Structure 1
Amino acid sequence: SGQLLASATFTGETASGWQQVNFSTPVVISAGTTYIASYHTTSGFYSITRPYFASQYVNGLLTALASGASGGNGVFTYGATNTFPTSSFSATNYWVDLVFNSD
């Protein structure tokens, strides 16, 4: 389960390089709360690194949880429509990042 806080449709994808889409308005988050940043694709192509989330990663004020903590990290789901990701496999990182501003 989860509540969708924001969404955006990406356009202008290139064959390689970092891809970024921005929300129309920033998403306000609260300390001590777990959030999931995810994407949906119908092409089936994505980048992965295994086992990336065997341990947590800390970057400034943000912590990416280890795969076994708080419902896991590197969660995914397969389907024709965008849906909340609940499955995980081998502590996989699907390389969905976020832009964070602590102001």
Structure 2
Amino acid sequence: MEDINVEKLRFAKTLILEGKIRTVTDLYQFLSKRLIANVIGLNPNSFSNRKARRLGDFKLSELILLADGLNLPLESVVILFYNSINHDDHESFSIHPV
């Protein structure tokens, strides 16, 4: 990964820990969706066009990869997503039958 991206990830970690980034939307304003897609191993185009807006569709494995990429505890990333999902807004997540 390019040095500039590593520095951005480190700085994002600091902002998350300081409480300046509290939601995924805040994170998208600081880190590009393309960079986040690369960190979690997804196609940047399909990520930006669909998945980035449907936060409830993220898999646990993707949250783990994002936490690893940001060098944060998984709990911190889960809190970002929790803060981001409006539980009354069914556009932001989907429920799949088991």
Q: TM-score range by the shorter chain?
A: under 0.3
Structure number with greater CO (CA < 8 Å, separation at least 6) is: 2
Q: TM-score, normalised by structure 2?
A: 0.24
Normalized per residue, the structure richer in strand is 1
Bigger radius of gyration among the two:
1
Structure number having the greater helix percentage: 2
